[in-house]
Amino acid sequence: MGAMEGFMQGLEVAFSFQGILFVLIGVIAGTLIGMMPGLGPISAIAIMIPITYGMNPSTALMMMAGVYYGAVFGGSTSSILLNAPGISGTVATSFDGYPMAQRGEAGKALAIAAISSFVGGTVSVVLLMLFAPALAQVAVSFGPAQYFALMFLGLTAIASLSDGSTVKALIAATVGFMMATIGIDGQTGTTRFTFGNPNLMEGIDFLVIALGLFALAEICFLIKNRKDDSLSKQGDIGSLKLGKSDFKEMRGPMSRQSFLGFILGVLPGAGATIASFIGYISEKRIAKRPEEFGKGSVKGLSAPETANNAATSGAFVPLLSLGIPGSGTTAVMLGAFLVLGIQPGPLLVQDHPDVFWGIIASMYIGNVFLLILNLPLIPYIAKILKISRPLLISLVAIFSLIGVYAISFSTFDLYVLLAFGVLGYLMRLFSVPAPPFILAFILGGMMEQSLRQTLTASGGNMLALISDPVSIGLYIVSLISFLVPLIRTRNKNDQSESEQKAS
Amino acid sequence: MLKTLNQKLSLFLILFASGYLYLTYNLKEYPYVPVDSDFVPKVLGYVLIVLAVFLYFDKSSETKEEKEKRTIPKKEILVLLAVGAMIFLYIFLLELLGFVLSSMLFVFGCSLFLGYRNHKVNVIVSVIFPLVMYLSFNYLLQIKLPQGILPF
């Protein structure tokens, strides 16, 4: 089937009554959850997964995609209004968005964010449509050795590119991988690390870990900050109108960052956070008046907002065409696919064209919804932020618990969920990043399988892993990704040294 | 010897990895494959030990922000533990009382405990939310949540 034909089929699925309805639900739910301080796309997707049980896979996944980019957008709303980014991908948004809101131009800031997100999202969906099938065609010929190399790259990239200590990120990834080894080994039937507990035979379900490490752990932070009532003080947001000069300012960043953000989103490990920071920095560097950045510059707000939404669609390229998530969020997204019995990867276009093209087509609708929803409704949506924290905490807790119960019908998994909630909270306290953990957990099983397939075929010869140019290239890129944090720390040291000298 | 937080974490991780490796070496052997089920876990165990050693010698000190995040007043620790205990109790009661009743108790009790003082809204939310969830899961999604002692 040609791409055009496939896309038409996707449009048909997306424009059905069900399609439109569930994309709308997804976008709204994502925006609302993403707006809550602390709850980002990972929690949003994990919380929404139970709702998809029993749904038609293509509709369900269109909704989940809506949740994803809705949550990214919702995060920017709280960045602008409260200077409290829900997720790291919208931290750069607060640099110029919040000063603008403080000047009484919150409405304008929200409008700029909505339009930039729309442009970034829409342009990158076009790119996604062009690149994903092409990449899938290349990947069809990949064997287990190449897949192993690819997943290895995904893991090392997220560990070395995540903020904070690389060693801690790698530790998180290793422990996440260890969790994936619990249960019956698929190849030999050996039970591993179950301590004789029949509940652990099939391993730990990914939703238990995703909801524990993210949603429940975030609750702990909400509990600590429950008395923060900055939300209820939020007053009028002012006019949403933009002038001609504003559009002129936005044009440059929007056109550049749509492409740059997309490319960074495709790369494993990079994603929305890095895209938004690079977008911000690069626009500041080429701006005629860089001194305005940080004080409520239109360019400074438009750049990260365009970039983070473009990166969101970019992240779907490796997920849809290789079946390999490059970030914590897409890892949970992969989990959502698997729950519905869909294995994303190079064969997805052939086997489930309705899902593949449906998701892509639905993103066009979703982005329009986001724009329509956000421009006129934002003042009302912002009011929902005033929901009392104690009530919110209890409701999120119930949502997480029931999400897990609905897949396993066993209270054992709920106790495990609670344990992972505690672990997630401790990890945050000790500044150990959680996304590498969930990514490694989800990739772990797949990685072990492809590693052992490769080694079984070669009779245990380790050289089989590096016997072809594709794998060798991927390992080299993984090694290079380790140099990034080294350069970063050196830069930081140089900076602090020069600062010391200056003072 | 264990001055910094990193060193304490490192020691804990080494102990964890050793326990994991101990279990790995006791896995049942399966003779007919070139790579047995203990191969990957062994690699992981040793990798974790190496990483923990790196962490031990990691000199980067905590940023102010990180330290601030880690200091929790004693009273808050008690609050966190209490909420944890409530969730524990909720799980325990879930299959005994059923989803609706235990959720009502949890939402009302937990919100009240955390300082929510609008009792009217609290009662309304804690009655309606579990009922709506229960009915939509049971009848719309066909996922049977625990019925407990209620007749529906």
What's the residue count for chain B?
152
Domain boundary among B66, B96, B115: B66
A98-112 mean pLDDT: 87
DSSP-derived letter for residue A192 is E
Domain boundary pick from B66, B92, B119: B66
Is the model more confident about B71 or about A50? A50
Q: What is the pLDDT of residues A293-309, one digit of tens each?
A: 988 899 999 999 999 99
| Chain B closest-CA separation from residue A320 CA (Å) | 27
Q: How many domains is chain A built from?
A: 1
Which region, left, alpha or beta, applies to residue A433 given φ > 0 means left and ψ of -120 to 50 means alpha? beta
Q: Which of residues 417-436 of A touch B (CB under 8 A)?
A: 418, 421-422, 425, 428-431
Q: What six digits make up the tokens of A399?
A: 């949502």
Contact A165 B58 (CB under 8 A): yes
Rounded distance, CA B103 to CA A401, Å?
10
Q: Domain containing A406: what range?
A: 3-143+206-433
Cα gap A469→A481, rounded to integer Å: 18
Contact A59, A22 (CB under 8 A): yes
**Same-domain check for residues B52 and B18:** yes
Domain assignment present for residue A304? The answer is: yes
Higher pLDDT, B40 or A484: B40
Q: What's the rounded Cα separation, in Å, for the pair A104 and A326?
A: 39
Cα(A68)–Cα(A30) distance, integer angstroms: 6
Quick check: A457 contacting B, CB < 8 Å?
no
Does the pLDDT value for residue A284 go beyond 50? Answer: yes
d(CA B83, CA A219): 10
Name the stretches of chain B with pLDDT < 50: none
> Is the residue at B145 inside a domain?
no
Check CB contact under 8 Å for B143 and A54.
yes
Contact present, A135 and A399 (Cβ < 8 Å): no
Sign of the dihedral through C-alpha A406, A412, A416, A421: positive
Cα within 13 Å of Cα(A39), Cβ side: 33
B40 and A451: CB-CB below 8 Å?
A: yes
pLDDT of residue A162 exceeding 90, the answer is no
Asked whether residue B57 falls in the same domain as residue B90, the answer is no
Write down the pLDDT at residue A174.
96
Q: What is the pLDDT of residues A173-203, one digit of tens each?
A: 999 999 999 999 988 888 999 998 999 998 9
Q: How far is B5 from chain A (nearest CA, A)?
A: 8
Residue B151 lies in a domain: no
- Between chains, do A171 and B52 touch, taking CB under 8 Å as contact? yes
Averaged pLDDT for residues A391-398: 89
Q: Are residues B80 and B132 in the same domain?
A: yes
Q: What pLDDT was estimated at residue A300?
A: 93
Burial of A292 (0-12, 13-18, 19+ CB in 10 A): middle
Task: Give which of A348, A329, A443 is closest to A58, Cα–Cα.
Answer: A348
Residues B40 and B98 in one domain: no
B49, B66, B83 — which closes off a domain?
A: B66
* Full residue range of the structural domain in which residue B121 is found: 74-140
Does any CB of chain B come closer than 8 Å to the CB of residue A394? yes
For residue B149, being part of any structural domain is answered with: no
- Residue A230 CB partners (closer than 8 Å, separation 6+): A82, A84
Worst-scoring range by mean pLDDT, A346-355, A412-421, B88-97? A346-355
- Confidence (pLDDT) at A503: 46
Which among A168, A181, A430 has CB closest to B41?
A181
Asked whether residue A36 is assigned to any structural domain, the reply reads: yes
DSSP secondary structure string for all residues of chain B? ---SHHHHHHHHHHHHHHHHHHHHHTSPP-TTSSS-TTHHHHHHHHHHHHHHHHHHT--PPPPHHHHHHH---HHHHHHHHHHHHHHHHHHHHHHHH-HHHHHHHHHHHHHHHTT---HHHHHHHHHHHHHHHHHIIIIIS------TTS--
Residue B82 belongs to a domain? yes
Residue B61 and residue B83 share a domain: no
B85 and B104 belong to one structural domain: yes
**pLDDT tens column, B106-139:** 999 999 999 888 899 999 999 999 999 899 888 8
How many residue contacts between A and B have a Cβ separation below 8 Å? Answer: 166
A430: chain B residues, CB-CB within 8 Å: 5, 9, 70
Q: Kindly indicate the confidence band of residue A495, based on its pLDDT and cuts at 50, 70 and 90.
A: low
User: Residue A320: inside a domain, yes or no?
Assistant: yes
Give me chain B's average pLDDT, please: 89
Q: Which of A192, A395, A398 has its CB closest to that of B41?
A: A192
B30 touches chain A (CB under 8 A): yes
Distances (CA, A) of A500 to A121, A493, A494, B73: 42, 10, 10, 34
Chain A residue nearest residue B116, CA to CA: A390
- A424 — pLDDT class (breaks 50, 70, 90): very high
Question: What confidence score (pLDDT) does residue A489 get?
Answer: 63
Highest mean pLDDT among A107-111, A158-162, A378-382: A107-111
User: What is the model's pLDDT at position A357?
Assistant: 93
Is B122 part of any domain? yes
B41 part of a folded domain: yes
User: What band does A119 get if pLDDT is binned at 50, 70 and 90?
Assistant: very high
Partners of residue A191 on adjacent β-strands: A184
Count of structural domains within chain B: 2
Chain A residues whose beta carbon lies within 8 Å of the beta carbon of residue B104: none
